Amino acid sequence: MAFDVIKVRQDFPILQQKVYGKPLVYLDNAATSQKPQQVIDSMINVYTELNSNIHRGVHYLSNQSTVAFEEARKKIQTFINASGEHEVIFTRGTTEAINLVAHSFGDTFLNEGDEVIVSELEHHSNIVPWQLLRDRKNITIKVIPIDEAGELMMDKFEELLSSRTKLVSVAHVSNALGTINPVEEVIRIAHDRDIPVLIDGAQAVQHVAVDVQKLDCDFYAFSGHKLYGPTGIGVLYGKAKWLEEMQPYHGGGEMIKKVTFDKTTYNELPFKFEAGTPDYCGAIGLGVAIDYVKSLDLAAIADYEHELLTYATNALQQVDGLRIYGTSEQKSGVISFLVDNIHPYDMGMMLDKMGIAVRTGHHCAQPIMDHYNIPGTVRASFGLYNQREEIDQLVAGVLKVKQLFG
Ligand code: PMP
């Protein structure tokens, strides 16, 4: 069955609007995706028919919302093929998921002088939590360099591994360059030395099918809002063998078994890591977003987005003076570029006035910008509802800006 983008677009009410009197061309999907009506309806439904705090209530509504919340967890478990629901922890998003591991895994398993390996293309949320851990525990952070194409230098990665390496934490897909990292290989190499691996999947789950058991990663983090779901909800997948051993992250309600002033015992997984009232409304919405993506078939989405990426890359490359940053063989739907010496901010502002939404700046990945010695880029990132016509509009817009700067 061919991917019917015209039909898909009808599910996204926000795409029907005009900005500055022009049809919206939304090419900022790596920052956040738009929501289909099905997700919006589910959120309205929770607040109109279901709302009640989960888990502790004996009454009807509380049971209903608890069932819906736990059903959402089940959907996520199936979506990423975790071996059990207890390995699926709800967080606020990727950032909180990585901070959770940095705290809880770090506090439990890392000592002064131990090492964590990240890569040069990480989002700040996979850098700063490890720096905070470094400050608390006096550990060392090592960095896998990237080459000019924006690919991990795997030979250098192997050289960085040592008997002190306690964790490797890398992105599945780079938000700033679009590089799809060879995470299977990273995991295999690390596991050969018994080193666990965290994968930051914030830019992956919406584009490629993820099977955490097949990957054999130890942790996998992602955000609902980039997967056509609500904001404020995300997931940390973790292997039970680690989660069982790890110290809790936040303390409070829900994560306890028994509290006295002398001693507290902790709840079982996953609740041990879900202190306080979770965003059950968001979790339910995320479950519906996953249903939506599955109904379109992730493989069909991936093929369609790949076609878009190829089309956009070819079209933008025709623009004289345009340079694309991130030219990896394996790429997801992200194109970062600069044109002549036009500042990315100026380009973004002028495209905006044409109704074209792109992101400009360092994309929370300043080390990448330092690598290329640039202040930032203009980034067009695609989602399942984008179409070739929008890429044509982007190219026409870029040419117009170029002319104005002439
Ligand atoms: N990692 C990557 C690769 C990202 O692109 C992002 C979001 N831009 C994050 C982590 C952080 O995600 P969130 O802000 O949803 O926590």
In tens, the pLDDT along 355-393 reads: 999 999 999 999 999 999 999 999 999 999 999 999 999
What is the pLDDT at residue 56?
79
Please identify, by atom number, the ligand 1 atom nearest to the C-alpha of residue 226: 15
pTM of full prediction above 0.85: yes
Q: How confident is the model at residue 57 (pLDDT cuts 50, 70, 90)?
A: confident
CB of residue 169 inside a 6 A radius of ligand 1: no
Q: What's the number of domains the chain is made of?
A: 2
Please say if the pLDDT value at position 247 is more than 90. Answer: yes
End-to-end CA distance of the chain: 45
Q: 318: CA distance to ligand 1 center in Å? A: 31
CB of residue 202 inside a 6 A radius of ligand 1: yes
What is the pLDDT at residue 270?
98
Share in percent of the chain as helix, strand, coil (round to 5)? 45, 20, 35
Given a contact cutoff of 8 angstroms between Cβ atoms, the answer to whether 386 and 312 are in contact is no
How large is the C-alpha radius of gyration of the chain?
Answer: 22
Domain end: 238, 263, 294, which one?
294
Report the distance separating Cα 144 and Cα 197, nearest Å.
14
What would the two tokens of residue 275 be? 């202190």
Whether 227 maps to a domain, the answer reads yes
pLDDT, tens only, 206-228? 999 999 999 999 999 999 999 99
Q: How confident is the model at residue 344 (pLDDT cuts 50, 70, 90)?
A: very high
Q: How confident is the model at residue 1 (pLDDT cuts 50, 70, 90)?
A: low
pLDDT, tens only, 285-296? 999 999 999 999
Whether 221 maps to a domain, the answer reads yes
- CATH classification of the domain holding 380: 3.90.1150.10
Domain end: 269, 294, 319, which one?
294
Report the distance separating Cα 196 and Cα 177, nearest Å.
25
Q: Which position among 161, 364, 374, 399 bears the catalytic label?
A: 364
Q: 258: CA distance to ligand 1 center in Å? A: 35
pLDDT, tens only, 103-135? 999 999 999 999 999 999 999 999 999 999 999
Strands 264-266 and 356-357 turn out to be unpaired
Report the distance separating Cα 125 and Cα 94, nearest Å.
8
Residues 6+ apart with CB under 8 A from 93: 202, 223, 224, 225, 231, 232, 233, 234
Output the CA torsion sign for 123, 128, 129, 134.
positive
pLDDT, tens only, 167-211? 999 999 999 999 999 999 999 999 999 999 999 999 999 999 999
What is the pLDDT at residue 85?
98
What is the pLDDT at residue 162?
98
Among protein residues, the one with the nearest Cα to ligand 1's atom 12 is 94
**330 and 225 both lie in a single domain:** no
**374 and 396 both lie in a single domain:** yes
* Residue 364: active-site member: yes
Range of the domain at 77: 40-294
Q: 228: CA distance to ligand 1 center in Å? A: 14
What is the pLDDT at residue 367?
97
Please say if the pLDDT value at position 406 is more than 90. Answer: no
**262 and 352 both lie in a single domain:** no
What would the two tokens of residue 335 be? 């194109």
Average per-residue pLDDT for the chain: 97
Pocket test for ligand 1, best of 94, 207, 332 (most atoms within 8 A of CB): 94
What would the two tokens of residue 96 be? 């909180």
Mean pLDDT, to the nearest integer, of 275-288? 98
CB of residue 223 inside a 6 A radius of ligand 1: yes
